[in-house]
Amino acid sequence: MELDRLVFTFFNVAIAREYWPDIVKGFLITVRLGLAVIVTGLALGLVLAMLRSLQRRALNLLIVVYADAFRALPALMVIIILFFAFPYAGMSMSAFTATWLALSLVLGAFAEEIFWAGIIAIPKGQYEAARSTGMDRSQTLVHVILPQAVRITIPPLTNRTIAITKGTALGSVVALSEILGAAHSASSLAGNPTPLTLGAIAYLVLFIPFVIFGRWVETRFAWRR
């Protein structure tokens, strides 16, 4: 009897059949959002780390303030500020845009610090050797330092990217119909939590490959001194 009640409540086939298209739509939105966050956040972090390597005091101060602020702020708070507060300044944005921008800013802050740690981990002799061949500062950074720094940073960067990308679920707070938002709406309409079970399965289908890939990357690109 208890098992039947459990199945009826969380694994109701009739309700699952009715609402799974909504979960699939949310799944596709989550995929789009996650990919957009990864591309934008990593690119932002890399550019800021490269700019920081120029050693301009004022610029470095701005970068450090940005990185510290967005690593300290909860991603949910950033989403809420962008979606609910910015319209008062005449800068309205959709739920998708607010979530994408917030998570990208947070990922960019962490990525900048990780890339910067990789850059400063390269021995000073590498700079000097590259400059002695006639390379200027930018050529040394792009052709000598970054390839080594990126290799060092791949494992922690992969783990941080996966952790922040899972924050796409926070978009449900601003009515974004990603997996959690779609599952919650469907569950409310059905009066049954089975759509939430479908949502949990969708998250497993989406993120287990990412976790496995992250483990492989961490092993494959582990820095060997």
Q: pLDDT tens digit string along 77-117?
A: 999 999 999 988 888 999 999 999 999 999 999 999 999 99
- Domain spans of the chain, in order of start: 2-220
Give the pTM. 0.88
**Which of these CATH numbers, 3.30.470.10, 3.90.79.10, 3.40.50.300, 1.10.3720.10, describes 2-220?**
1.10.3720.10
Mind listing the pLDDT tens digit for each residue in 183-222?
Answer: 989 998 888 899 999 999 999 998 888 888 877 877 776 6
- Provide the pLDDT confidence category of residue 225 given band limits of 50, 70 and 90: very low
pLDDT band at 223 (very low <50, low <70, confident <90, very high): low
Are 174 and 93 in contact by the 8 Å Cβ rule? The answer is no
**Regarding predicted confidence, which is higher, 141 or 119?**
119
Judge contact between 145 and 126, C-beta under 8 A: yes
Whether the Cβ atoms of residue 81 and residue 54 lie closer than 8 Å to each other: no
Q: What percent of the chain has pLDDT over 70?
A: 97
Q: Average pLDDT, stretch 11-26?
A: 90
pLDDT computed for residue 216 by the predictor? 82
